[in-house]
Amino acid sequence: MGSPAREYDMTARAAATARTRERLLLAARERFADRHYDDVTLAEVAGAAGVTVQTLLNHFGSKDGMLAAAAEAFAGVVADLRGPVEPGDLDGAVDALMRHYEVLGDANWRLVADAERQTVLGSLLDGARAAHRAWIEAVFAPQLTAADRGGDHLTAAGRGGDREETVAALYAVTDVGTWKLLRRDLGRSPEVTRAVLRRLIAGQLERG
């Protein structure tokens, strides 16, 4: 049976290790949010966290490992920004998207651009896309269910095809690329962007 002093020492070390990891994740998240993948270095992340590069590698193994861990942290931030949305609440869904994209939209778009050169980003994007699709199906479940009921005269394959088209259309109009087109390429204000996104989403729901 370990002595109280030894157990305290082990607990203190574990807490210190956890704090170091949190500092590293925060430093990595801040830099990946503002820069392209190639522009972020291990040395600067380690320096910002007050540790050596070797300590960083002990935690994450590599730059790719650090990015993967930072991406998990980003997922939590996205969930907080979007918050709970009552299923079927169109305005709540648009507000959630705007909160997310106004804070992390540029970082999301850089990730998409970097994925063309960094294969490690592909799996992260796949996970993010699956999560976004799941969000769409949960938030717009009442409208999608109503559309399915409206197609009861169709075959099962036909209903499935219609639903898939509706979900794909909703994905396209709620994707960060649509926000980026409106806000950055066309220079529209947040208010106008919100109004356009609402109109696009409502249009797809009505068609569905």
DSSP 3-state of 63: helix
Q: What is the pLDDT of residue 157?
A: 40
Q: What is the pLDDT of residue 158?
A: 43
Domain co-membership, 92 together with 193: yes
DSSP 3-state of 117: coil
CA atoms of 68 and 28, how far apart (whole Å):
10
Q: What are phi and psi of 120, to 5 degrees?
A: -60, -25
Question: Which CATH number belongs to the domain containing residue 51 in this structure?
Answer: 1.10.10.60
Closest CA to 162 of 152, 149, 142, 148: 148
Domain co-membership, 69 together with 94: no
Contact 173, 131 (CB under 8 A): no
Range of the domain at 26: 1-73
Q: What is the pLDDT of residue 122?
A: 87
Contact 107, 37 (CB under 8 A): no
**pLDDT tens column, 29-86:** 999 989 999 999 999 999 999 999 999 999 999 999 999 899 888 889 999 999 999 9
Domain's final residue, options 52, 73, 94: 73
Which tokens hold the place of 187? 């220079």
CA atoms of 91 and 202, how far apart (whole Å):
10
Which tokens hold the place of 118? 């960094």
Below-50 pLDDT ranges, the chain:
152-159
Q: What is the pLDDT of residue 153?
A: 42
Domain co-membership, 68 together with 103: no
Domain co-membership, 207 together with 115: yes
CA atoms of 98 and 118, how far apart (whole Å):
28
Complete DSSP assignment for 151-203: TTTS-HHHHHHHHHHHHHHHHHHHSHHHHHIIIIIS---HHHHHHHHHHHHHH
How many structural domains does the chain have?
2
Contact 166, 144 (CB under 8 A): yes
Domain co-membership, 65 together with 146: no
The identity of residue 14, as a single letter, is A
Q: What are phi and psi of 85, to 5 degrees?
A: -125, 125
The reported pTM is 0.83
